[in-house]
Amino acid sequence: MSRLLASMVAVRLDGHDPAVCAAWIDSADRVCGRPVVAPWLCKRHETVARKRAEKAGIKAREDAEKHSTRQEELRPGREARLAVVQAEIDRLDPPRQMHEWRHMTDRQAAHLSQLYRERDDLRRDLGVTA
């Protein structure tokens, strides 16, 4: 964790003396260099790093939650759409024997291949492995 924490404020840790603060100070264009209280970090920068890490962690969790909520909201619509798409595919492209040949216009063929693509996308979004 200390390394991860330090990376919140430091640009470079490798090759840096762990006894002095490695935090990068943008305004001064140099590393902090004060004595450390934690590996690579002085008292002040340890606090800064901790706050940044906390923020980043919270943000990541919020994003993950938002994403999964959204996915659940979309699920019924996607499932309904998948049923429609599948029904349309079955109608346009019913299972048939290899030797059977059915005339299909370019438009129908394009429509059908678009339906297949949409079905595959929906299945992927819904986590269906067919």
Pick between residue 20 and residue 89 the one whose CB is nearest to Zn ion.
20
Min dist CB 17 to Zn ion, Å, is 13
Structure tokens at 62: 């919020």
Q: Work out which of 5, 6, 40, 45 binds Zn ion, going by CB under 5 A.
A: 45
Pick between residue 24 and residue 123 the one whose CB is nearest to Zn ion.
24
Q: Work out which of 5, 8, 32, 82 binds Zn ion, going by CB under 5 A.
A: 32
| End-to-end CA, the chain | 42
Taking the C-alpha atoms of residue 123 and residue 130, their distance in angstroms, rounded to an integer, is 8
Residue 36 sits in the site that holds Zn ion (CB under 5 A): no
Min dist CB 1 to Zn ion, Å, is 18
C-alpha triplet 51, 57, 62: angle, nearest 5°: 125
Residues in 78-107 at the binding interface with Zn ion, rule: CB under 5 A: none
Stretch that binds Zn ion, among 39-47, 59-67, 80-88, 105-113 (CB under 5 A): 39-47
Helices (H) and strands (E) in the chain, counts: 3, 2
Pick between residue 44 and residue 81 the one whose CB is nearest to Zn ion.
44
Taking the C-alpha atoms of residue 86 and residue 92, their distance in angstroms, rounded to an integer, is 10
Min dist CB 34 to Zn ion, Å, is 5
CB-CB contact of 31 with 40 (8 Å): no
